[in-house]
Every structure is written in structure tokens, then in C-alpha cells.
Amino acid sequence: MLIEEIMHKDVAYLTAENTIEQAMNVMHERKIRHVPIVNDKHELIAIVSDRDIRDASPSIFHADEHLEDLQKPLSSIMKTNVVTTGPLDFVEDAASTLYEHDISSLPVTEDDVLVGMITETDILHTLVKLTGAHQPSSQIEIRVPNISGQLADVAALFKANNKNVTSVLVYPCEDPEYKILVFRVQTMDPRRIIETLESSGYEVMWPRMPGMSP
Amino acid sequence: MRNHAFIYSEDMLKYKFSDDHPFNHLRLQLTKSLLEAEDALQPDDFVTPRMASDEEIALVHDQAYIEAVKKAGRGELSPGLANNFGLGTEDTPMFHNMHEAAALLVGGTLSAVDEVMEGRATHALNLGGGLHHGFRGKASGFCIYNDSSIAIEYLRKVYGMRVLYIDTDAHHGDGVQWAFYEDPDVCTLSIHETGRYLFPGTGAVNEKGNGQGFGFSINVPVDAFTEDHSFLEVYEAAIWEVAEFFKPDIILTQNGADAHYYDPLTHLSASIEFFREVPRIAHEVAHDFCDGRWVAVGGGGYDHWRVVPRAWSLLWLEMSDQRHIAEGSLPETWLEAWKDQSPIPLPTFWTDPADLYPPIPRKPEITEKNKKSLDKALFHIRNEKNR
């Protein structure tokens, strides 16, 4: 999935000449935590986060003092070294960018021009969709040897049982000799497919009382 | 005025996918037969279900979907098209006259509503209903039309009632929740086995409703292997606090009987006691908040020999103030009548044996986790109350 499919296109932005108070208002009204700063060509030049604002605001114990500080331009607090992404980048890559830089939103730019905004919430929601967890389904986890062709073999059993698969994930296993295949299957009665998988020699992970026979 | 109505017709047994499908409405007959053997059902308790009209079904479902179900029941729906509507799958195969069969179950729940709202009964029970997985335009999880969603919309439109829907099926009541996710006049409370593995996978504590309806969808997922004590602790706290918060005009309870240890599709460890307590508390809530107005429907329940007849009989006995009947042995006549058809030995007592299942090793952790889920599910309600 591409960033342009999930990004916010109606982006709230400001310029370096706007005041800190204006940024506070925009964040409050739009319920956002990051405001991108653009120049007159609508090119992204900086970003202001709620933390930058907080650092510039008086303490709650002195809430009425130094209010003139809030009239200073955003250029005095904005961060110019902005991590961005492009509309044609993959959502997975954007997710790892957020993770690497330990940040929670990314402006989307095309030839330096601001075209969108993406937040960790958007990405999390997309990942939930990718796991198929938003559609009615049962989850079946299968431990398979870490050799090629296992996914195809297991998938063939789902096909033979006429079970519609909504999503498949491949997880690493603690034991590197194995991998975990996670299927979400459109059925309320997975008994037969589990039986088929087990009788074909696969290990199905399913709620089971520890220390009790399966 | 009599106090309670039992909606029933042999025609409800025509909602049947196939001989070996886990959803089997023979359960209805088994329950009625058990109650009759105990002399707990009188002729004037019975109400014959009406057929739901297309307009009534369309209160919730898309017209195109209704047409598709009709065609499917006549064998005129292609497998490709059927699939778009969730029909012709392993879970909801197509069968002869499926529209009529499904519309009768909906009509049964509407008849139950009419009994209560037109003052002919204080409580009414339609065990044929409770098909909580049905979606606006799609069949899912053995359910074609969502009788509960339709009945709730009918209660809203025709009678202007604020409805509290309480779902204790082991599976999340997803169809009803999504139908009213943005509606502040309908509150859905679902207590179910966590969707970690189990169908439909939804029903997490953070699903709380949307927009105007935020706060009016409440989900308490409980861990696999949850037993009576923890399950009931969570249920009792949730139902009282939610009723106090929402102040309903009527309650609609979905009484799936698939949380029992014997149930083949789920992983909970409830005993038959759970099914005695759940309606007892719902009954109190109905009298405390709604002048007694209480409509109950069935739902899941896939051990239809050992579990469902007793569980659903307990529901009726509670509703009709005949609790004392459910003591000691099951009637000999009932056992005799069915023992040859049952592939497994029938239970002989109203209660389950003390050694129903071996002790659960992680019991304290499960209990603790369920309490935490309850706290998270009710957080916004408690917050509101303390303001």
C-alpha cells in the first residue's frame, strides 16, 4: 500500500512568520500535534510539534507571565531538519522511518512541496487492515519448518477445505528452525481445517490449557 | 395480563443449512420438550411468530441483499454473486427457501417485541433469534438476517425506545454493534471470549462507538478458559454499571449458550450455573430500570444435546418465575424421548458435575486479566460518573 492512499490531503500548515499562539490555536482546533511550516512556494521548510510549543510556553504556575513570548514568530522555535516521506513510498517503509527516528508523524512532500501528512495512528490503522483483523474471521497460527515451500503447502490445504483466507502473515519463531504462519480465515467453525492441518503433520497453535492434553 | 410469552413454531426448524452443520435449530424443539416435560410451559404462554415483512428486514438490511437471499433460496443465485453477499460459504451455505426461514426468525423477535410493547406480556422470549453476526449487506457466522438489529431499529422507529442490548454469546456481537456504532440511543454491551483466535476477532475494549455514539458500545473480552466465577463477576458489574449509565427503556438480551465448557467451537469454561445466573441478573435489571420490559433471544450454542436445552430452559424458568423447577434430576420422559437420537449420553441432572473439567492451571491470572479488561471497558462510564 502506498502513502498517497492513506495520507491526509487537507493539511493544516503555517508559515515561519506566523506566531506561536497561532500554532497553539491550530493544534487545538484541528486536534493535531504537528504543524508543517511552508514558504511562499508551498515548499516544506520546517515543522513545529506540540513539544516545541510546550517548551516555549510559560509553566502553569506562571500562566499569566511573559505572554508576549507567544507573539514571537514560529521561526524562533521551528525545527528545520525535517524527516519526510513521498506519496509513492510504501506504508511499511514509512512505519520503519517513524520507528527509526522515534517520531510520530511525517510530512509528505513531492519536489519539496507539501502534499500531505501522515501520522502513526494512520499507519497503525493501515497495519490493522493488513492483518485482516477488521473483518469477521478466525485466527489460526501454524508452526512450520523454516524451509521454502511451506506457505504454499499450507495454503493448498485451505483451498482444499474451501476456506476463504482474509490475510496471511509470516512471523519469526523463537526457534530459528521454525516460522509461524498466521492465517485469518472467514469461518466461525475452523475445526475441520485444524484437523486437516494437524493430520498433515503441522503444529497448530490454538487456545490450549497449559499442562493439559490438547 | 400474563407475565411472559414464549415465541415458538415448528417452522423455525426450517432454518437449517445441512444435517452436519453446527448450527442446528433442533435445539428449539429439545428445549421446548424439556420445559413441557417439567410442566413449565402452558398453552397460553405460546405465541406463534409472524413473518417479518421485507420493509421490516430493510430497517437494517440492504434491498439488494434481501433480493439475493430470496434468489439463493430458489437456487437462482450464482456462486460468484453469492460470495459477495457472504452466501454459499461453508458457514452460511444456501438452502431451499432460506429467505422465508430467516424472515420467520426475525418475525419471531418482532413478535416478542410486540408482546411486550403492546402490553400482552412483561417479558418475551424468542429462542429462534439472536443471529448477531448478520451484517447490513452480508451473511456471516451462520447468520443471514440480524433479527436483533432489526428489532432494535423497530423499537426505535415504532416505539421510540432507548434500547440496551446485552450479549453473552461466547462470540462478539459484531453485527449488532456495527449497526448502532454511531447511535447514542442504542447501547450495546457484549461480553465474549477474546478475539485473539476466536471468530469474529473483533470486540476489543477500545471499540467504544463513534461520533454521537461514542461510549455506547461496550466490549468486555474475557480470556480463553474463563470459569463461572470470573465470568459472572465481570458480567454482573458491567450490566449494572452500564444500565445505570444508559438508563434504558427496555433491554434485549442475546443468550447464546456457547460459553459452556462442552461447546465445540469456543474455549471458555462456563458450567450450567452460568446460564442460571445470567438471566437472573438481567431479570433484576429489567425490573429496576425498565418496568420489567425484557425481550430475550437465543443465539449460539453448538452442543445442542448436553448444554443448550438446559441453558435455554433456565432462561425461560427465570423469566416465568419458575426457578424452583430446575433442581435435581432431569425428567425421565425427556431423557427417554431423546436418548436414542443423541450421539452422546444426555445429562441427567439440572446441574453439572463438580468435576466437569480438570482444574485450570492459570486461573488467578485469567481472573486478574478479566478484571483489567472490565476496568478498561467501563473506564469512560466511571469517569463520567465521578465528574
H helices of chain B, in order, are 26-37, 54-57, 63-73, 79-84, 98-117, 147-159, 174-179, 228-246, 272-289, 308-319, 332-338, 363-385
Phi/psi at B258 (5° precision): -110, 15
Each residue's pLDDT tens digit, A3-56: 999 999 999 999 999 999 999 999 999 999 999 999 999 999 999 999 999 999
The pLDDT value given to residue A128: 79
Do B163 and B249 form a contact (C-beta atoms < 8 A)?
yes
Each residue's pLDDT tens digit, B113-136: 999 999 999 999 999 999 999 999
Which residue bears the cell 415458538?
B8
The pLDDT value given to residue A212: 46
Residue B140 at interface with chain A, using a CB cutoff of 8 Å: yes
Size of interface A-B (CB pairs under 8 A): 72
Look up the CATH architecture of domain A132-205: 2-Layer Sandwich (3.30)
Each residue's pLDDT tens digit, B265-294: 999 999 999 999 999 999 999 999 999 999
- Test A188 with B267 for CB contact under 8 angstroms: no
Each residue's pLDDT tens digit, B326-345: 999 999 999 999 999 999 99
Residue B358 at interface with chain A, using a CB cutoff of 8 Å: yes
User: CA of A5, closest CA in chain B: separation in Å?
Assistant: 23
Which residue bears the cell 408482546?
B115
B-proximal residues of A, 87-106, CB under 8 Å:
none
Taking CB atoms and an 8 Å cutoff, what residues of chain B touch A190?
Answer: 199
The top-scoring range by mean pLDDT among A92-96, B86-90, B96-100 is: B96-100
Q: Which chain B residue has its CA at the smallest distance from A134's CA?
A: B202
What are the structural domains of chain B? 4-385 (3.40.800.20)
- Which candidate from A141, A187, A209 shows the least CB-CB separation from B199? A187
Cα torsion angle, A193, B308, B352, B253, sign: positive
Q: Is B133 a catalytic residue?
A: yes
Q: Which chain B residue has its CA at the smallest distance from A206's CA?
A: B197
Look up the CATH architecture of domain A3-128: Roll (3.10)
User: Of these residues, B61, B99, B133, B283, which one is catalytic?
Assistant: B133
Per-residue pLDDT of chain A (214 residues; tens, 9 = 90+): 899 999 999 999 999 999 999 999 999 999 999 999 999 999 999 999 999 999 998 888 988 888 888 999 999 999 999 999 999 998 888 999 999 999 999 999 999 999 999 999 898 888 877 777 778 899 999 999 999 999 999 999 999 988 889 889 998 988 999 999 999 998 999 988 999 999 999 999 877 654 444 3
Q: With bands split at pLDDT 50, 70 and 90, how would you rate the model's confidence at B244?
A: very high
DSSP code string of B271-297: -HHHHHHHHHHHHHHHHHHSTT-EEEE
Compute the average pLDDT of residues B322-326: 96
Q: Domain-by-domain residue ranges, chain A? A: 3-128, 132-205
The pLDDT value given to residue A214: 38
The pLDDT value given to residue A126: 85
Compute the average pLDDT of residues B247-265: 97
Q: What is the mean pLDDT of chain B?
A: 96
- Test A138 with B199 for CB contact under 8 angstroms: yes
- Test B90 with A136 for CB contact under 8 angstroms: no
